Structure 1
C-alpha cells in the first residue's frame, strides 16, 4: 500500500499540514483562553461589586426613610408617650418597616407591635446615642429574636438637638437582599446565568442568600471575612466553584457571589470545540486539494518510469515522452529522451570503439575462459575471436617461463607455494580488485611481445565475482626507450667516473709536489738558517699550505655537489678536538694583534659520537675567517650545552669577531660558492670563497643549520647547533683535579679586563686554582712587590702581548719579583720561538700557546703539581720517555715519489728510526719477506701494486699486532679512510706530512705492537688466531677498571686480596704473552710480599703506577685493534 510514491507524498503533505494546523489552533486557543478567562473573571468581579453597591444603596434608602419618619414627629422631653402614639400612627400609614419602636436613653425599648425589651447593653444602641445611624441584623442584637429582620437604630433629638432617645425600625432582610436574585452573570454575548449571592455579617454568619447559596460552608464564610478585613474585594478558588466577595459600603456586611467552575469556563470549552472543528474542516479541504494537485505530476512520472524500464531492458527505440508543462518533470522527460538517444548513439558504436582502440581487451568468466576478444587483441596476438572465445584461457598466449619466475617470487613473498598458471592469476587478485604488471605474451607465430597488463574483477550487485577483464597494450617502443635511457645513464656514469678519476689524479698530481715542498721546507727549518732565510722559508710553507687548502676546498666542494660526501660516526673527545683546533689556530694568530678566546664549559661529556674531522674543519674554517677579517679586538669561540640527557647532548657553537663585518646585501650571497663579502676582499684577504659554502653544507649534513649575524664595522657572529650521541663504554680518564684531594693553588694572572679575563677566571676555577688578576704588567709588579708576596702565589700567568709589556727588561723585572713562584708565559707560536732563543735561566718556566684552552691549562697545572710532589723535572722525564723506546726501530716506507721519500726518511731519521724504501707495493712485499720491520708507512697510489692491494697481501700473513701499517694519503674523505681500514691498515696520516703528527702515530702503533709477543701467544693457542683474538676481547672487557679496584685494595691495606688479584692478572697476561703487564704485576706482587703486612703507600705506589700505565697501554691497544678490525673507528684526527 505504502509503496506508492503518490500516496506517501499525499500522506506526508497531510501530516505536515495537520501538524501545522494543530500548532496554529493550539496557539490560537491558548491566546484566546487567557483573554476570555480574564474577561469572565472581570465580569464576575463586576457582578459582586454591583450587588454590594445595590445592597448599600438599599440600606441608605431605608435609613433615609427611617430618618424622614423620625423628623416628622417632634420630640420633647417627658412626652415619650405622645411620641410613641405618633410613631404608631406613622407605622400604620407606611408599608416599608415591619415594626417601629422607641428607646429612651436608659435603653428601655417599646415596639409598635407591642413587644418591649432592654437594649441598654447593645453596642448598636450606644452608637445611636452617639448620633450614628446603625443597621444591624437580628443575629447581631441579643434583644431581638427575629432572625429574618434587620434593625435600623437612629438617634432622636429634642428641640435643643440633644439625643433624647433612639428610634428603632425593623425591616425584613428580604427587602435588602431581594433585588440580588434578579441579577445575572454574563458569560458571553448571548449567554447569561442567574447570580448566586450570600450576605454575610462581620463574623461570617449568612444574613441572606439566594436559593442555591447554601453550598457555602461556615469555613468558607470565615475565610471570606478574614480576606475582606484588609481589602474591599477578594476571589477564592475552590473545588468545583469560584467565590467572588465584596464588602458592602456603609455596613459591616459582605456580599459573596458563588459561581460554579463549569458555568464560569463554559465559553472556553465551546471555543475549544470550535477550534477543533475548524482545523478538521481545513485538513479535509487540504487533503482533497493536495490529491487533486499531485495526481497529474505523478501520472507523468509513471510514464517516465515505463520508458526507463524499457531502456533498462535494452529497448532503446521507445516512443519519446511528451514534456507537457515546462516544469521539472517536463525537464526530466526531456532529459530521459536525451538519455535514450545518447544511449542509443553510445551502444551502437560501442563495439566499434572497443575494437578500434590501442588496448587489447580480454573478458573471461570466473573460470578464466575467454568470453570477449576485441579486434586490437586479435591484431596484437594473431588469433581470431572464433579461435579464442569459449575455447581458450589467457594461459594459451602467456610465457610459461615468465609465469614460473613470477610464481616463484610471489611464493617467496606469500610464504606458500604458488604454481604458475591459473593459481598465479587467482593469487594476484586475492584481497584486491585489480593489479597491473608487465607481461610477455606469445603471438600465434610464437613471437614474444612485451605488454603492460591490467586485470580487474567483474563483480555483480551482490559482490560476487562473475568474471575478469584484462586490458593490455604493446610496450615494445617503451622498452626500446628505456634501453636507450639505460645506455645514456651508463654513459653519464662513465663520464662522471672519468671526471672523478680525473679529479683524483689531478689532486694527486697537484698535491704531490705541494707535499714535497712542504716536507722539504720542514726539513730545511730544522737546519741552521739566517733570520731572512727563516722568514722566506716560513712564507714558503704558509703559501704551500694555503695552496693545498684551496685544492682541498675545491675537491670537497666537487664531492658535495656530486652527493658523494659521507660523514663518519666515531667516538671522539671534544676537549682534545678543541685543543688541536687551538694549536692550528695559533699559527694564524702569530702576526695578529688580537685575542683568540676559547670559552668551553667544563661540563661537556668526555666522549661523543660523530665526525670529529669534519667538525674541526667547520670550526677551523669559521675561526680562520674570523681571524682573517679581524685586525684588532678579539675572536670569541664559544661552546654551550643547552640540552643534555643520558644518551645525547646538543651543543651550540659560535664564532664571533670584531672584524670588518658584513652588510645585509652581502649577507644574501654569503653562502654562495666562490663569493666573499665583496670583490675586493678576495684581493685583500685571499681565499676562494668556498670555505663558508663547505662549512654550511657540512653543518647541514650533520643535521644543523649555519647562521650568521653581522653589522658592518662592528664584527660578525657565525653559530650553529648540533646533536651528538654520548659515547658509552671505556673512555680515557679525564685528568680531574678534585678539590678535596689536591691543595688549592694561588695564581696571579696578567690579563686585561674583558672576555679573556672572564674566560681565564672560569678555566682556573675548574682547575682548583684561586686567581688574582692584574690588569697590566705594572699592576702585577706592584702586587708582587707587596708584603707577603713570596708566599701568596704559586705561579704567575703572563700575557706576553700586553700593551705595557716592553720586552726583555720588563720580563726580567717580573721574573725577579715573582720568585719563587713559577712563571707561565701565554704567547703566540711566533713569540714562543723568540722566547726560546733566550738563555735557559731567562726563559719562562712554562709556556701556554695561544689560544689557551681548558685542557692545555689543566694539563699544565697538573704537571706542575706532580713535579712539585714527586720532584721529577721535565728534562729527565723526556729523557726517560725517549729511552723507553727500543733502539733503532725499523720502519719500511712504501712511497714512489722521490721527494716524499726524502722528507719522510729525514723526519724518521731525526727521531732515531732506521728506514727502508720501497717504490711500490711489490717491492714492499719483497722487503718484508727478506727482513724484519717494526712498522710500514704505506702510500696509497703507487705503480705496479698500490697500497690497498699491498696491505691486503700483508694482512693475509701478518696481523695488526705483528706489523702495524699506517697509510699516507692526501685524500681525507671518509670513503678513502674506510678503504684503508678495510684493507687492514691500522691508521691514516694525511699529506703533507707534519712531523708532530707522524711521530705521534708511529710511536703509538709501535707501542701497540710491543704490547703482545704475537708469535709466542699464537703458539700458546696452537696457531688459532680467532681464539687469541677472542681472548684479547675478553681481557679488554674483564680488566676495564681493574686498576681502580686494585688501588682500592692497596689503599685499604688489603694486601692479601691485592696479591690474589695480581696473581690472577699475571696468569692471564702470561697466557697472552703481554710481557710488560706481566713484569709490572710481578714487580708489584713482590713489593707487597716484601712489606710483611706493613703496606704503606711508599712501598707500592711506584710499582703500581708502572702496572697501571702498562695495563692502560694494553687495554688501549686492544681497543684500537678491535676498532681497526671493524673498520668503524678512525683514531687519528689529522689536520687539513
Structure 2
C-alpha cells in the first residue's frame, strides 16, 4: 500500500517534534514538516501532500489563511487540512476553520489516542479514495477496450458478410451457368453415354453448390442470422422421401439402405422440416461417404410420449470405417475431420457435422455420435416435438423438361447480365418459352434500352459493372413514361444474404430469384408477374 505524505506546519519546532513522535506508529505515512507557512506552501505545490496538520496561531500567515490559500489553488485544493489549536473551543473559531476549508480540529494539549485515531482514519480514507480512483480508471479503460472490441467485432462482421456476399456471387454465378447448360443439354437429343456425362456433371455442380451452402449456413448460424421456421409436417413422410432419395445413391455403392420407423411415431409434429432434413441428410451423406460395404439404417424411435408431445430419436447407423475414440468430439468442430487423411481420401469441408450440432441447438435438441473404429458408427439427433393436427399440403409441380413448359404470348424481355454464359443460358431458356430477348451487359445499357424500346419484363442481375442492378432499377422507376417505369423487374442475385435480397425490393424490384435458379420456379414467377400486370393495365 502506498505511503501518504503528511505535512506538519507549526511555527514552533518543539511542537513539530512532539507531534511527529506521536504519529510515528501510524502506518503508511511519510511525515514532512515546516515552521514557515510560505515554505510549507511551496512544499504542497511540489510534493503530493495528502494531509496537512496546520497550527492556527502563526505569525505573518495564520492557520485559517494558510488553509484558504491551499483550497484556492487547483494543485493543492485536494489536501485534507486539520486545524491544530490551543485557543478557545468556541463555535465561532470552529466555524471559521471549517469555512476556510479545514475538515477537522485537534485541540492542544493533544490527546494521543484521538490524534492517532483521527490521522489513521484519514489515511485509510485516502487509501480508499485512491483505490476507487484506480478502479474507476481501470473501469474506464475496460469500457474503452470493450467499445473498441465491439467496434472491431462489428467491422469484422461487416467484412465477413461482404466477403461471403462476394464469394457467394462469384461462385454461384458460374454454377448457375453450368446448371443452366445442363438443363439445356437434357432438352437435346443425347445418347446414353452423353446422358451419363450430364448426370456426372450435375452431381459435381451440386457438390460444389453444397460446399458454398455449408459455408454460408455456418456463418449465418454463428452470427445469429439463421431463423428457425416452425410449421406442421409429417416426420414419417419426410423419412420416406429421404429413403427414396438416398436408396439409389446407396445402390450405386452396392450398399443396403433401410428405414426403420417406430409405429408410435406421431402423424404430424411442429418443427422446422428443412433444418431437420438438413441434419438427417448430413448423417446419411456422411455414412454413404465413409461406408464401402454393408448397410446404412435410418431409425426413428419414440423415447417418451405424452398427449401433446413426443421425444424422438433419429439415428443413422452404418458399417463404415468408424471413428477413433479420441477423435469422436473433434468431428463436430467446424473445418475439422477425425483424421487429416480423411479429407485427402474422401474430400469434404469438415462443416457438415459442425452445422448439424448448431442446428440441433437451434431446434432445442442434441446430437450424439457412437463409433467402433473399423466397424461402423451411430449418429443420432434427439428432440421433443409438439404434436400437430395436420399440415398444409403443397401442390406438387409436375416437373418436365423446361422447353416443354407452356409458352408465353409474345413477351419481349430484356436481360441485363454481365456474365456471358448466364446470359446465353437464360436467353436460350426464355426463347424456348416463345419470348423475344434482348441482352445488355450493365445497368446503364439496361436503362438506355428501356428508354428506347418497350419491354414486358426485365431480368436484372444485381452485380454489374458501370451501373449496378439496384441503381438501374431506381433509374428505370424514375422514367417519365409511367408504362416504362412500371415494367415488371425480376432481379437475379447470386447472394443468399437476406439484406441484399431485401435491398432489391426496396430499390423497386417486383420479384427476386437466386442463382442457381430452378427453371420451373422462374417460369412460375414470370407467369404471375405478367398476369398481375395485365390485370392492372
Q: TM exceeds 0.5?
A: yes
Structure 1, residues 529-558: CA drift from partner, whole Å, max 9, x if none?
344443334333333332343344345455
**CA offsets per residue over residues 57-94 of structure 1, 9 Å max, x none?**
xxxxxxxxxxxxxxxxxxxxxxxxxxxxxxxxxxxxxx
CA distance in 2, matches of 1:1003, 1:521: 20
CA deviation after TM superposition for structure 1 residue 677, in Å = 4.3
Match of 2:348 in 1: 687
* Corresponding residue SS for 2:99: coil
Aligned mates of 2:238, 2:445 — CA distance in 1: 38
2:86 aligned residue:
none
SS in structure 1 opposite 2:337?
coil
* Cα contact 1:940–1:946 (8 A) shared by 2: yes
Select the residue among 872, 897, 903 that pairs with 2:425. Answer: 903
User: Is 1:541 equivalent to 2:209 in the alignment?
Assistant: no
Partner of 1:999: 520
Return 5+ residue gaps in structure 1 as ranges. Answer: 1-340, 362-371, 393-468, 736-855, 860-873, 1017-1136
Measured in 2, the distance between the counterparts of 1:974 and 1:551 equals: 16
| Aligned residue in 2 for 1:942 | 464
Q: Distance in 2 between matches of 1:589 and 1:986?
A: 43
**Whole-Å Cα distance in 2 between the matches of residues 550 and 580 of structure 1?**
23
Aligned-CA RMSD value = 5.4
Q: Following the alignment from structure 2 to structure 1, what is the Cα–Cα distance between the partners of residues 69 and 129?
A: 11
Distance 1:731 1:534, change over 3 A: closer
TM-score in terms of structure 2 length: 0.61
The CA deviation at 1:527 is: 2.6
The answer to whether the 8 Å contact 1:661/1:712 transfers is yes
Match of 2:456 in 1: 933
Q: Is structure 2 residue 317 aligned with structure 1 residue 656? A: yes
Deviations 1:895-941 (A, max 9, x none): 2211111222223333445544443445445555642425x544332
- Is 1:390 aligned with 2:49? no
Indicate conservation of the 8 Å contact 2:317/2:379, yes or no: yes
Aligned length: 437
The aligned counterpart of 2:492 is: 968
2:256 aligned with 1:732 = no
Cα–Cα, structure 1 residues 477 and 649, in superposed 2: closer, same or farther, change >3 Å? Answer: closer
Q: How far off is 1:709 after superposition?
A: 1.9
Structure 1 CA distance for aligned equivalents of residues 335 and 487 of structure 2: 45
Q: CA deviation at 1:999?
A: 0.9
Displacement after TM superposition at 1:699 (Å): 2.1
- Structure 2 equivalent of residue 570 of structure 1: 229
Cα distance change, pair 972–574 in 1 and its aligned pair in 2 (3 A): farther
Q: Distance in 2 between matches of 1:725 and 1:360?
A: 72
The yes-or-no answer on 1:605 pairing with 2:127 is no
Structure with larger Rg: 1
Q: CA deviation at 1:501?
A: 3.2
Deviations 1:115-137 (A, max 9, x none): xxxxxxxxxxxxxxxxxxxxxxx
Shift of 1:595: 4.2
The SS at the match of 1:662 is: coil
CA deviation after TM superposition for structure 1 residue 654, in Å:
2.8
8 Å contact 1:640–1:652 — kept in the other structure? Answer: yes
- Change over 3 Å in CA distance of 1:348–1:539 after alignment to 2: closer
Output the CA distance in 1 between the equivalents of 2:419 and 2:192. 31
CA contact (8 A) 1:567 1:974 kept: no
The verdict on how the C-alpha distance between 1:902 and 1:359 changes in structure 2, with shifts beyond 3 A counting, is farther
CA distance in structure 2 between the aligned counterparts of 1:674 and 1:500, rounded to whole angstroms: 19
- Displacement, 1:688? 2.8
CA contact (8 A) 2:321 2:374 kept: yes
Equivalent positions of 1:183-262 (< 5 A) are none
After TM superposition, the structure 1 = structure 2 runs for residues 690-769 of structure 1, keeping only pairs within 5 Å, are 690-722=351-383, 732-733=392-393
Report the Cα offset of residue 893 of structure 1: 3.6
Matches within 5 A, 1:473-872: 473=133, 490=151, 494=155, 497-498=158-159, 500-557=161-218, 563-570=222-229, 572=231, 574-575=233-234, 585=246, 588-589=249-250, 591-598=252-259, 603-605=266-268, 608=270, 610=272, 612-639=273-300, 652-722=313-383, 732-733=392-393
Distance 1:964 1:487, change over 3 A: same
Task: Say if 1:590 and 1:1006 are closer, same or farther in 2 by CA, change over 3 A.
Answer: farther
The DSSP-based 3-state class of the residue aligned with 1:593 is: coil
Q: Post-superposition shift, 1:648?
A: 7.3
CA distance in structure 2 between the partners assigned to 1:952 and 1:550 by the alignment: 34
Alignment partner of 1:670: what SS? helix
**1:985–1:651 Cα change, 3 Å:** farther
Residue matched to 1:440:
none
Normalising by structure 1, report the TM-score: 0.32
Distance 1:591 1:626 in 2: 14
Residues 525 and 640 of structure 1, relative CA distance in 2, 3 Å threshold:
same
Kept in 2, the 8 Å contact 1:568–1:974? The answer is no
Instruction: For residues 501-547 of structure 1, give each alpha carbon's deviation from its aligned partner in whole angstroms, at most 9, with x where no partner exists.
Output: 34543443344334433332342343333444433343333333323
SS at 1:660's partner residue?
coil
**TM superposition shift of 1:693:** 1.9
Gaps of 5+ in 2: 1-20, 33-43, 53-66, 82-95, 102-127
